[in-house]
Amino acid sequence: MNTPEVIKKMEKIKAAFIPKNTKPNMLLLPLGGMGLFVILYIMAAVNYPGGSWILPDQDGFSFWHNYLCDLLDVYAINDEVNSGRFYAIAALGLLCTGLFWLWSYLPRLFETKNLNQKVMKISGLLSLLTIFLLAFGNHDEVVRIAGIFGVIAFITCSVELFKAYHKNLFLLGVLCILVFLINYYIYETGLFIKSLPVIQKITFILFISWFIGLDVALYRKVRLPVKKPA
């Protein structure tokens, strides 16, 4: 049976991890951002005029040949004005905002505070801020800078998940890191470059799944009530 002293200690620990003005339901906002991202990106793809780097004269957006970043360009690859760009920018903005919110609170998923979590939080937020710059051009530079911050954030997060015994989230995080590195290797070397558009989308699905898992775990952690003595 929990004693009043134990209850007080548990409440202090909870208060240290969760600001008083943060309601648990607010931590579900990233899920809304990810959901709206998918909807808006589908709308962006539907409104994309056409063209890919493999088939410049194709009609519309191709799952097999177009990159997700193609939807952010002012002009489609077939030289027509990209009428889906507005949806793509809005989708990217909502996604980055939702994940920024998630990553800001993610250290509260772990009981013990340490330097690694600070590195995880700062690098993750810097990566998200950098990624949003994709909407304004300089694609290669943005991808490289965001990639460096992102890898640091993902590795440090995976370390914390392993230490906290979040086995499934740890394994999915490691898989995401490996697939991300494969993407980056293909992007930089050009090997199997024709397969990259599909691999990119698979990678994105894996990351979205991981982020959803992290957000749900954080939400459950926050809303876990402190049991009162009988």
Domain annotation covers residue 117 = yes
Q: What's the rounded Cα separation, in Å, for the pair 139 and 125?
A: 19
Domain annotation covers residue 175 = yes
Domain annotation covers residue 109 = yes
CA 67 to chain centre: 17
Domain annotation covers residue 228 = no
- Give the pLDDT of residue 40: 97
- Give the pLDDT of residue 3: 57
Q: What percent of the chain has pLDDT over 70?
A: 87
Q: How many domains does the chain have?
A: 1
Conformational region of residue 212, where left means phi above 0, alpha means psi within -120 to 50, and beta covers everything else = alpha
Which residues lie below 8 Å from residue 73, measured CB to CB, with a gap of 6+? 82, 85
Q: Give the domain range for residue 66.
A: 26-223
Q: What percent of the chain has pLDDT over 90?
A: 73
Per-residue pLDDT reduced to its tens digit, 15-61: 444 444 567 788 889 999 999 999 999 999 999 999 998 899 999 99
Domain annotation covers residue 9 = no
Torsion of CA 83, 42, 65, 142, to 10 degrees: 80
Per-residue pLDDT reduced to its tens digit, 85-133: 999 999 999 999 999 999 999 999 998 889 999 999 999 999 999 998 8
Domain annotation covers residue 230 = no
Specify the pTM. Answer: 0.84
Q: What's the rounded Cα separation, in Å, for the pair 179 and 210?
A: 13
Domain annotation covers residue 12 = no
What does the block give as tokens for 149? 């911050």
DSSP letter at 59 equals: B
- Give the pLDDT of residue 140: 83
- Give the pLDDT of residue 48: 97
Q: Report the SS3 class of residue 60.
A: strand
